Amino acid sequence: MNRLLLILFITLGCPFSAAKGLSATTVSFTDDLGRQVTIPSHPVRIVSVYDIDITIPLIELGVMPIGSHGRISKNGTPYIRSSALLTGVDFDNSDITFIGATNVDLETIVGLKPDLIITANSRPTPVDLLANIAPTISLDSGLDAAHVYQQLATITHTEKRLAILERRYKEQIKSLKATIDTHKITVSVMQPLRGKISVYHSYRSLGRVLRDAGFQFPSIINQIPKGERVDFSAERLPELDADIIFDPYFSAQKPEVEIAKMNAILPGFCQFLSACKKGHYVLVSRDAAISNSYAGLEAMTMAVQAHLTPKPHLDEPIK
């Protein structure tokens, strides 16, 4: 089929049935747009339209999609954001087909013959176009990671695997709380972004770890609505001060680049923050911190615990 005819089929609402018959039974599923969608009861050819919030969770649940949205590196190589770091899986060592970056390629998706397409509410490709290729559900990653994982586990019948991942995470938080009096410590998470100081109510996996562990946040952060972000100007920096400050930086860059960006916003910024002056301005991998994956949660739990666990001092007397 030539590309023009393909586009006409999709845009005019003529669904393809290339994957028909892969699942003998169907079920009704209500997605996060409120749509009731008839989907295969046991989907086997899933295409993910969002790498970080759909593809990685599927991989962690033990379900390998046949196609996925991704990113393009500077050398033109496609990759699944953070996946190599968190799961060990990427396009170059799996059978997952790259379907495009910001705007996915509909022709590529058609060629994969999916029996289910999973997208996110934030993605630019219209759900109706995807639904003309195969049954399509949309999930809202802004609700919270637990919601997305539960929905995916329900669709793929991987509830037992999810229960194991959740149990492991709870044990990690329990260990963190046993080591540190978290409720006595204030924390902030911030990062330089386009000349402002970008702050979320909870910075994805890092924010979830800090809140689940019982750390306290400055009121300026708690006032940010859940799931949202506010960009503050430099004069608000002292209000963001805390006992510990975490700054997620791009792992592809050296930490010094992140520090330079902060100094560009406010020269000598460290002198305005007690956490920074005491050596408690902590740079962590943004690739892990921004992921909602259980691997990201583990990495952030370990990073927080390693930094805050009491250290020996040279002047301690020998007993």
Q: Which pLDDT score, from 0 to 100, does residue 4 have?
A: 46
The answer to whether residues 19 and 148 belong to one domain is yes
Where does a domain end: 157, 189, 211?
157
Is 214 a domain residue?
Answer: yes
- Residue 14 binned pLDDT confidence (cut-offs 50, 70, 90): low
- On whether both 299 and 187 belong to a single domain, the answer is yes
Domain membership flag for residue 107: yes
Q: Is the pLDDT of residue 172 over 50?
A: yes
Does a structural domain hold residue 46? yes
Q: For the residues 171-198, what does the mean pLDDT come to?
A: 95
Predicted local confidence at residue 3, as pLDDT: 58
Sheet order of strands, 97-98 included? 97-98, 67-68, 46-48, 116-120, 136-139
Quick one: 114 and 194 in the same domain? Answer: no
Strand 191-193 relative to strand 196-200, pairing = antiparallel
Residue 282 and residue 187 in one domain: yes
Predicted confidence at residue 251, as pLDDT, reads 78
Please state whether 316 falls in left (phi above 0), alpha (psi between -120 and 50) or beta: beta
DSSP code at position 151: H
Rounded to an integer, the average pLDDT of 157-176 is: 97
**Domain containing residue 21:** 3-157
Considering the domain architecture, whether residues 15 and 125 belong to the same structural domain is answered as yes
- pLDDT recorded at residue 23: 54
Question: For residue 142, what pLDDT band results from cuts at 50, 70 and 90?
Answer: confident
99 inside domain? yes
What contacts 134, CB < 8 A, 6 or more positions away?
15, 16, 19, 47, 109, 114, 115, 116, 117
Is 41 found in the same domain as 136? Answer: yes
**Per the domain annotation, does 292 fall within a domain?**
yes
CB atoms within 10 A of CB 192: 22
pLDDT at position 310:
81
Q: pLDDT higher for 135 or 145?
A: 135
Report the alpha-carbon distance of residue 303 to residue 243 in Å, rounded. Answer: 16
* Per-residue pLDDT tens digits for 262-315: 999 999 999 999 999 999 999 999 999 998 899 999 999 999 999 998 877 655
CB neighbour burial string for 24-41, b if at least 16 within 10 angstroms, e if fewer: eeeeebebbeeeebebbe
Query: Does residue 213 lie within any of the structural domains?
Result: yes
The radius of gyration of the chain's CA atoms, rounded to the nearest angstrom, is 22
| Beta-strand relationship, 116-120 and 46-48 | parallel
Same domain for 260 and 288? yes
Q: How many domains does the chain have?
A: 2
What pLDDT score was predicted for residue 315? 59
Same domain assignment for residues 180 and 54: no
Mean of per-residue pLDDT scores for the chain: 91
pLDDT at position 319 over 60: no
- The rounded distance, in Å, linking the Cα atoms of 96 and 84 is 13
Give domain status of residue 317, yes or no. no
% the chain with pLDDT above 70:
90
Residues 148/122, Cβ–Cβ less than 8 Å:
no
pLDDT, tens digit, for every residue of 217-276? 999 999 999 889 999 999 999 999 999 999 999 877 889 999 999 999 999 999 999 999
Q: Using an 8 Å Cβ cutoff, are 49 and 98 in contact?
A: no
Q: Are residues 187 and 286 in the same domain?
A: yes
pLDDT of 12 above 60: no
207 touches 200 (CB < 8 A): yes
Average pLDDT (113-130) is 95
Q: Is 166 a domain residue?
A: no
Residue after which a domain boundary falls, among 157, 187, 203: 157
Question: In 3D, which of 108, 107, 114, 140 has the Cα closest to residue 43?
Answer: 114
Q: What is the CATH number of the domain that holds 134?
A: 3.40.50.1980
- Condensed to tens digits (0 to 9), the pLDDT of residues 29-67 reads 999 999 999 999 999 999 999 999 999 999 999 999 999
Are 15 and 118 part of one and the same domain?
A: yes
E-strand ranges in the chain read: 26-30, 36-40, 46-48, 67-68, 71-72, 78-79, 97-98, 116-120, 136-139, 187-189, 191-193, 196-200, 229-232, 244-249, 281-285
Q: Quick one: 114 and 192 in the same domain? A: no
**Res 275: pLDDT:** 95
**Which residues 6+ apart lie within 8 Å of 222 measured at CB?**
201
